[in-house]
């Protein structure tokens, strides 16, 4: 993989209609500074609002990947992102004068050619590459969908599909090198749909810009001449339609014998770009589509965020599967200190969603001196405090700069205490976000001992600037 970040030398544009909306649109790729990332800009809207290419901004997956930020949408972004990822461009501004990029011929070729014509420039900064060091899986057994990102010395894709169509059968592809293969072997692979599916999508108004020259139509079954005439009328196709030997409507020639699976790999490449950084991994996919691609991408993004946190706070190496952050790392960001620091380790975290931590309850705890000498019980209010500190860890790391925020708790609801906590117990602490409105959070928290819930509560809190409390 390339070592330095890259951007465009000068702007590059391409115009056409969007395949789903049918809207005329011009996409313009522009250079961007170091560490800027990929950001869409809607120039047709007041204020030129931005939509970062981030997996957290995915809102729709019907026949394509749609992003939205602050109510502003950009549809069908995967082919554009595949071009940038395939050319290993890290920083770019993508201006759109409508809500969907042009479909071109249904591939990433036109975007890729426009960018190459404009030129690519290396920047004086090292790429932030995510190295996958443990397998990350996503599976839908009922649909036969499987995806896995495996450790690798470079980025690779292996993709397999079975279309259960005599003309197509099982198809397989392998992308071994973006630098050597993307432009000629994958960027030209066109999108496709099945004949019956195309008619339904047209009736539903989902492919308003769909034409015979911007998608391959695979014939499933033997339609009658009348059905073909009706299809031609719906798509505004003047030429006579027929089902040929190739299995593609009108025997439209394929660019590759396995063009369809190559396009699936292209879509996967575009969806993986939503992680925000290039990955060093071998991604194996079977029968995957946008929904599964995005599900895996979210898992990889969660892994990336954890790696960033661990790198920032965890100084000693932790063995895989052991835990996430030790007490030394916790004390680098959590302001609590003895005798009020009630979290010993962070076991796992999904940034912005959930965290799991532990507190080892020792007989040497200060509060056991008076609560109660005859029968030592951890005060229920301190169990709540341990859950609150766990939630605070989650809150702080849901912001770009965790050290600048502090959790300030504003409410405790539905608190229940089901069993005493005594010396020798290990509290398993969980906090999960239930609702968030800007800096106001509501979290469901639980404390368990030996897998049994001993306490639970719904905690409300707000994030405040640390400077205001210093």
Q: Give one DSSP letter per residue of 300-327, joined into a string.
A: HHHHHHHHHHHHHH--S---TTT-SB-H
pLDDT recorded at residue 167: 61
pLDDT recorded at residue 314: 83
> Could you tell me where the beta strands, DSSP code E, fall in 178-245?
192-194, 216-218
Interior angle at CA 23, CA 19 and CA 25, nearest 5: 95
Name the residue with tokens 């397989």.
172
b/e map of 335-372 (b: 16 or more CB within 10 Å)? beeeeebbbbbbeebbbbebbbbbbebeeebeebeeee
Q: Is residue 330 within 8 Å of residue 392, measured between CB atoms?
A: no
- What is the number of alpha carbons within 13 Å of residue 470 lying toward its C-beta? 6
What is the full per-residue pLDDT of the chain (470 aa) written as tens digits?
Answer: 899 999 999 999 999 999 999 999 999 999 999 999 999 999 999 999 999 999 999 998 877 899 999 999 999 999 999 999 999 999 999 999 999 999 999 999 999 999 999 999 999 999 999 999 999 999 999 988 999 999 999 999 999 998 776 666 789 999 999 999 999 999 999 999 888 788 788 878 788 888 878 899 888 777 888 888 888 888 878 788 888 777 888 888 999 999 999 999 999 999 999 999 999 999 999 999 999 999 999 999 999 988 888 888 887 766 666 788 999 999 988 989 999 999 999 999 999 899 999 999 999 999 999 999 889 999 999 999 999 999 999 999 988 887 788 899 999 999 999 999 999 999 999 999 999 998 999 999 999 999 999 999 999 999 998 776 55
How far apart CA 84 and CA 236 sit, in angstroms, is: 33
How far apart CA 55 and CA 146 sit, in angstroms, is: 19
H or E segment at 380?
helix 380-396
Instruction: Indicate the SS3 state at residue 89.
Output: coil
Q: Which residue is catalytic, options 79, 263, 290, 397?
A: 290
Q: Is residue 376 within 8 Å of residue 423, measured between CB atoms?
A: yes
Q: What is the dihedral of CA 369, 370, 376, 378, to 10 degrees?
A: -100
User: Which CATH fold topology does 314-468 show?
Assistant: Thiol Ester Dehydrase; Chain A (3.10.129)
Count of all residues that appear for the chain in the document: 470
H or E segment at 44?
none
Instruction: Indicate the SS3 state at residue 363.
Output: coil
Name the residue with tokens 């959930």.
354
Please state the separation of Cα 138 from the chain's center in Å.
13
> 263 an active-site residue?
no
pLDDT recorded at residue 165: 67
Helices (H), 56-170: 78-86, 109-118
pLDDT recorded at residue 13: 97
User: Which CATH fold topology does 4-189+260-307 show?
Assistant: Ribosomal Protein S5; domain 2 (3.30.230)
User: What is the location of CATH 3.10.129.10 in the chain?
Assistant: 314-468
> 371 an active-site residue?
yes
Instruction: Indicate the SS3 state at residue 83.
Output: helix
How far apart CA 207 and CA 189 sit, in angstroms, is: 19
Helices (H), 211-258: 225-235
pLDDT recorded at residue 166: 65
How far apart CA 380 and CA 456 sit, in angstroms, is: 10
Ramachandran sector of residue 253 (left: φ over 0; alpha: ψ -120 to 50; beta: rest): beta
User: What is the location of CATH 3.30.230.20 in the chain?
Assistant: 4-189+260-307
pLDDT recorded at residue 203: 79
């Amino acid at each position: 993989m390339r070592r330095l970040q890259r951007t465009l030398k000068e702007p590059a544009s391409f115009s056409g209609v969007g395949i789903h909306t049918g809207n005329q649109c011009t996409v313009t790729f522009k250079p961007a500074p170091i560490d800027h990332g990929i950001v869409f800009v809607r120039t047709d809207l007041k204020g030129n609002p931005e939509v970062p290419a981030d997996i957290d901004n995915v809102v729709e997956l019907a026949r394509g990947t749609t992003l939205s930020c602050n109510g502003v949408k950009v549809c069908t972004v995967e082919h554009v992102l595949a071009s940038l990822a395939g050319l290993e461009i890290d920083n770019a501004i993508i201006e759109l004068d409508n809500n969907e990029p042009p479909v071109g011929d249904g591939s990433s070729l036109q975007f890729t050619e426009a960018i190459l014509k404009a030129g690519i420039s290396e920047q004086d900064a090292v790429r932030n590459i995510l190295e996958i060091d443990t397998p990350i899986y996503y599976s839908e057994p009922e649909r036969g969908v499987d995806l896995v990102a495996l450790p690798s010395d470079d980025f690779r894709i292996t993709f397999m599909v079975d279309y259960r169509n005599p003309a197509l059968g099982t198809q397989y592809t392998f992308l071994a090198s973006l630098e050597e293969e993307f432009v000629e072997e994958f960027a030209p692979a066109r999108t496709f749909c099945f004949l019956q599916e195309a008619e339904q999508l047209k009736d539903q108004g989902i492919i308003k810009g769909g034409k015979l020259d911007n998608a391959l139509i695979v014939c499933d079954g033997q339609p009658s001449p009348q059905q073909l005439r009706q299809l031609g009328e719906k798509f505004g196709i003047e030429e006579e339609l027929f089902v040929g030997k190739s299995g593609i409507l009108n025997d439209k020639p394929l660019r590759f014998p396995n063009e369809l699976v190559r396009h699936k790999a292209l879509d996967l490449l575009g969806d993986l770009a939503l992680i925000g950084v290039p990955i060093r991994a071998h991604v194996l996919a079977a029968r995957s589509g946008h929904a599964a691609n995005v599900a895996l991408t979210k898992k990889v993004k969660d892994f990336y965020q954890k790696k960033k946190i661990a790198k920032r706070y965890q100084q000693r190496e932790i063995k895989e599967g052991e835990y996430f952050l030790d007490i030394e790392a916790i004390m680098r960001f959590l302001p609590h200190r003895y005798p009020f620091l009630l979290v010993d380790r962070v076991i796992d975290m999904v940034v912005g969603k959930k965290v799991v931590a532990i507190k080892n309850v020792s007989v040497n705890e200060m509060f056991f001196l008076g609560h109660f000498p005859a029968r030592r019980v951890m005060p229920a209010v301190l169990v709540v405090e341990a859950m609150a500190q766990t939630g605070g860890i989650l809150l702080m790391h849901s912001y770009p700069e965790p050290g600048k925020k502090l959790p300030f708790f504003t409410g405790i609801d539905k608190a229940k205490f089901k069993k005493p906590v005594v010396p020798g117990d290990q509290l398993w602490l969980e906090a999960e976000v239930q609702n968030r409105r800007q800096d106001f959070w509501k979290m469901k928290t639980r404390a368990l001992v030996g897998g049994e819930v001993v306490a639970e509560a719904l905690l409300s809190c707000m994030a405040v600037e640390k400077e205001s409390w210093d």
